[in-house]
């Protein structure tokens, strides 16, 4: 197995190296073709995406849903192409291609709370690896949680790519303790929070009108450190232009409300983060990862057939 993993890693590195020399638009087209091939063999991804789009945009016609799905596939192909070119993107490229309307406000928040880092909450919306890379180029060194790749050779190499601008990766094992430590030491932290989690680790928060199993880690870290929080992502504007968008969260009234229990504060904070991120998705819908079963895990005792042709019980939905 180790030999297979190593040979796979070598193949991926060769592909990365080769694709770097293709034009960005050419890479996007190649990745779009590959996605279409995946959909031929895995049509459940299409069903999942269309089900998700119907949940968020119930008034869309079938043509509108299909058009959004088509645009989201191009956005996903762009994300892959952006990952390929990370090693070539420098500060000069950033200054020419990325708009930063939140930059001044970020400096103000850092000045007002020098003893704490800022918690940046984001998700699988837009080119999130390019987003992280660009914030590092700006000198905004951040610790962020990421899922490790099963191939340890590839994981070690891509980790070095992600950390080359001063970021530090926090692996998911024991992540909360490390996140709290980083925030208390004054380092910013980034967390992606928009995907399904197991019931054991879930807070059930409405996402576009349907309860979704949502990680409580951002709220736990925020409450433990009383840090400033902003919801952020990178949006594609057209051509070669991007914009880093951010919305500051009004967390301090919740921190200071003595009438609320800890659990109530965790729910209120998570709801606040979700509401902010929902607005970002609505403003840039093609950028969200519609292929993920966001509403898969259901509250205990609930019967749900959201992603299935027949109703299944919670015990069957493993």
Q: Name the one residue in this structure whose structure tokens are 């043509």.
A: 63
Q: How confident is the model at residue 251 (pLDDT cuts 50, 70, 90)?
A: very high
pLDDT score, position 139: 87
Model confidence, pTM? 0.92
Residue 100 falls in which region: left (phi positive, over 0), alpha (psi -120 to 50) or beta? beta
pLDDT score, position 2: 80
Give me the chain's average pLDDT, please: 92
Distance of CA 186 to the CA centre of its chain: 23
pLDDT score, position 304: 66
Q: Where are the domains of the chain?
A: 90-287
Per the model's pLDDT, the better-predicted residue between 8 and 173 turns out to be 8
Per the model's pLDDT, the better-predicted residue between 87 and 77 turns out to be 77
Q: How far from 278 is each of 36, 172, 220, 251, 288, CA to CA, in Å?
A: 27, 24, 20, 17, 10
Beta carbons within 10 angstroms of residue 303's beta carbon: 11
Helical residues (DSSP H) of 140-248, grouped into ranges = 152-162, 175-184, 217-225
In this predicted structure, the answer to whether residue 164 has a pLDDT above a threshold of 90 is no
pLDDT score, position 315: 43
| Mean pLDDT, residues 144-169 | 86
pLDDT score, position 263: 97
Tokens for 165? 């601008």
Cα 126 to Cα 124: distance, rounded to the nearest angstrom:
7
Residue 87's Cβ-count burial label (10 Å; 0-12, 13-18, 19+) is middle
Cα 206 to Cα 203: distance, rounded to the nearest angstrom:
10
pLDDT score, position 307: 86
Per the model's pLDDT, the better-predicted residue between 200 and 183 turns out to be 183
Q: Which of 184, 182, 192, 188 is nearest to 138 (CA)?
A: 188
- What is the enclosing helix (H) or strand (E) of 107? helix 103-112
């Amino acid at each position: 197995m180790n030999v297979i993993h190593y040979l796979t890693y070598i193949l991926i590195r060769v592909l990365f190296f080769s694709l770097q020399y293709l034009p960005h638009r050419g890479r996007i087209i190649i990745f779009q073709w590959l996605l279409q091939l995946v959909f031929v063999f895995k049509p459940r991804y299409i069903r999942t995406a269309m089900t998700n789009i119907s949940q968020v945009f119930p008034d869309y016609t079938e043509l509108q849903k299909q058009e959004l799905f088509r645009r989201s596939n191009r956005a996903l192909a762009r994300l892959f192409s952006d990952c390929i070119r990370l090693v070539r993107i420098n500060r000069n490229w950033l200054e020419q291609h990325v708009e930063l309307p939140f930059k001044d406000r970020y400096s103000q928040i850092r000045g007002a709370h020098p003893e704490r880092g800022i918690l940046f909450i984001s998700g699988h919306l837009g080119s999130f690896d390019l987003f992280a890379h660009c914030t590092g180029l700006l000198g905004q060194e951040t610790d962020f949680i990421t899922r490790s790749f099963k191939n340890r050779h590839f994981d070690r190499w891509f980790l070095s790519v992600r950390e080359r601008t001063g970021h530090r990766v926090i692996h998911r094992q024991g992540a909360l303790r490390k996140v709290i430590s980083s925030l208390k030491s004054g380092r910013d932290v980034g967390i992606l929070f928009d995907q399904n989690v197991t019931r054991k680790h879930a807070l059930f928060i409405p996402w576009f009108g349907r309860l979704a199993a949502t990680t409580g880690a951002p709220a736990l870290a925020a409450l433990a450190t009383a840090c400033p929080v902003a919801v952020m992502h990178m949006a594609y504007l057209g051509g070669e232009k991007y914009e880093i968008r951010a919305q500051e969260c009004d967390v301090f009234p919740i921190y200071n409300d003595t009438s609320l229990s800890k659990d109530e504060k965790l729910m209120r904070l998570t709801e606040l983060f979700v509401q902010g991120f929902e607005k970002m998705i609505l403003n840039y819908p093609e950028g969200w990862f519609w292929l993920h079963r966001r509403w898969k895990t259901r509250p205990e005792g609930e019967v749900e057939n959201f992603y299935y042709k027949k109703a299944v019980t919670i015990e069957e939905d493993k």
